[in-house]
């Protein structure tokens, strides 16, 4: 029986979606703009990388051709030198929004078209009743922030005041999210987690997709830095996903990275959550090496998004892409006859774009394995085609949405 490895390169979009103008993202193109910036000599950083974007293995799979289908152009350096070695194409999101849960749920066969709740880009951003209830129930002396902000910038801005007053830093963004940052030692990690549990309950009436605990360490003198002990409290998917169907069929499921958080730990099997893309990929390959027939490893690589996209860091993003590309031979070597690997993304986060938010983009779809015949799968009208194709490959019942390309 076949196995599957599903890899989501968080935020690695390949061009504005057909409805990108609704989100202010017409013309965004995460991969294309990174490649163009590097080709122009503006993607260098001493000790990190220099020169044009180099993704030879992804190009060989057909990434450049997927970009061309999505945008009409092949980004610099991504034209394949030989016929593509994978099934390649691109997919359009049908869910309303450009956030992580919507993208992943749709990949797993569950497009959610109802609008999420969002907090306005005003100050204060949160309803007074929500803030008052959080302060009372969590026993807080107050909150700081109460605005739209970048996670790193707001910690730099309020970190010292937070340590001095004990008030957690609460902020949001264009995503459906309520984020709480607090010092692991001065405030306490467990207290932060409990505060987020309370916030999760309070945010439910507002249809907020995620409450996120953002712990950090450091001091005013040394600077503050976020730690790897982030924890997401997401709304559970409102219907069955690929994971539910796999669990019901008795299949082995391994969730690596923040997949468990995204799916509210439902049907996510064995969860592994190392820190960093490299460690997550190694953990996924290790799990895949002993995965029984019919099993699924579902991996999210979040550093593209959190470490580089939101920070508008082109050299860092380029280096992260190149590091992943270098590991593709190991991924291909891990596949046995009958196995399938799909590489895709959940949204964009163009580091050359204005602001610090996700961008509404199309995503690449690259599918390969020892017995997968290469070719074009064209434009997929929903991310759900990805989950439908995984289900068909594994011999699972059809999902609620999506059409397999097999």
**Cβ 346 vs Cβ 100: under 8 Å:** yes
Q: Do 226 and 241 lie in a common domain? A: no
Q: What Cα–Cα distance (Å) separates residue 294 from each residue in 54, 392, 402?
A: 35, 11, 20
Q: Do 99 and 224 lie in a common domain? A: no
Q: Do 161 and 218 lie in a common domain? A: yes
Phi, psi for residue 278 in degrees, rounded to 5: -60, -45
Q: Do 145 and 264 lie in a common domain? A: no
Whether this prediction's pTM lies above 0.85 is answered by yes
Q: What is the mean pLDDT of residues 258-264?
A: 94
User: Number of helices (H) and strands (E), helices first, in the chain?
Assistant: 14, 14
Closest Cα to residue 386, out of 3, 7, 2? 7
Residue 125: the pLDDT is 97
Residue 113: the pLDDT is 82
Q: What is the mean pLDDT of residues 111-136?
A: 94
Q: Do 24 and 141 lie in a common domain? A: no
Whether 401 is covered by a domain: the verdict is no
For residues 34 and 13, give the distance between their C-alpha atoms in angstroms, rounded to a whole number.
Answer: 11
Arithmetic mean of pLDDT over the chain: 96
Give the domain extent around 207.
128-234
Domain boundary among 211, 234, 257: 234
- Does residue 1 register a pLDDT over 80? no
The per-residue pLDDT for range 4-38, each reduced to its tens digit, is: 999 999 999 999 999 999 999 999 999 999 999 99
Domain boundary among 184, 219, 234: 234
- Does residue 292 register a pLDDT over 80? yes
Residue 338: the pLDDT is 97
Question: How many structural domains is the chain composed of?
Answer: 2
CATH number assigned to the domain comprising residue 387: 3.40.720.10
Q: Do 354 and 386 lie in a common domain? A: yes
CATH number assigned to the domain comprising residue 165: 3.30.70.1250
Q: Do 200 and 309 lie in a common domain? A: no
Residue 14: the pLDDT is 98
The per-residue pLDDT for range 140-196, each reduced to its tens digit, is: 999 999 999 988 889 999 999 999 999 999 999 888 899 999 999 999 999 999 999
Residue 152's SS3 state is helix
Here the tokens at position 31 are 């991969």
């Amino acid at each position: 029986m076949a196995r599957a490895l599903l890899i989501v390169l968080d935020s690695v979009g390949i061009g504005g979606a057909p409805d990108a103008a609704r989100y202010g993202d017409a013309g965004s193109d995460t991969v294309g703009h990174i490649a163009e910036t590097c080709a122009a000599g503006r993607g260098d950083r001493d000790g990190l990388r220099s020169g044009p974007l180099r993704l030879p293995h992804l190009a060989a799979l057909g990434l450049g051709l997927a970009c061309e289908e999505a945008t009409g152009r092949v980004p610099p350096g991504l034209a394949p030198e030989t016929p593509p070695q994978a099934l390649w194409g691109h997919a359009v999101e049908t869910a309303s929004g450009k956030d992580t849960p919507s993208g992943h749920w749709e990949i797993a066969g569950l497009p959610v078209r109802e609008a999420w709740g969002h907090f306005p880009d005003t100050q204060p951003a949160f309803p007074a009743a929500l803030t008052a209830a959080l302060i009372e129930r969590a026993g807080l002396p107050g909150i700081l922030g109460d605005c739209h902000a970048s996670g790193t910038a707001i910690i730099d801005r309020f970190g010292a005041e937070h340590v001095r007053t004990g008030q957690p830093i609460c902020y949001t963004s264009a995503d459906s999210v309520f984020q709480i940052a607090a010092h692991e030692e001065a405030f306490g990690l467990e207290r932060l987690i409990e505060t987020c549990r309370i916030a999760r309950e309070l945010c439910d009436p507002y249809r907020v997709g995620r409450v996120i605990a953002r712990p950090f360490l450091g001091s005013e003198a040394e600077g503050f830095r976020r730690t790897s002990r982030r924890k997401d409290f997401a709304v559970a998917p409102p219907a069955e996903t690929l994971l539910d169907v796999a669990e019901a069929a008795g299949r082995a499921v391994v969730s690596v990275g923040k997949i468990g958080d995204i799916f509210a730990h439902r049907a996510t099997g064995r969860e592994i959550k190392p820190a960093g893309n490299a460690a997550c990929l190694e953990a996924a390959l290790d799990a895949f090496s002993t995965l029984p027939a019919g099993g699924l490893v579902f991996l999210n690589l979040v550093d593209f998004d959190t470490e580089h996209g939101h920070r508008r860091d082109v050299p860092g993003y380029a280096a992260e892409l190149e590091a992943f590309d270098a590991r593709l031979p190991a991924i291909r070597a891990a596949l046995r006859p009958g196995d399938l690997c799909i590489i895709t993304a959940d949204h964009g986060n163009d580091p050359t774009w204005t602001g610090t938010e996700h961008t509404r983009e199309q995503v690449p779809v690259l599918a390969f394995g020892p017995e997968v015949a290469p070719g074009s799968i064209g434009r997929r009208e929903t991310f759900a085609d990805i989950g439908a194709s995984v289900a068909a490959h594994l011999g699972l019942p059809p999902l609620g949405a999506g059409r397999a390309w097999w």
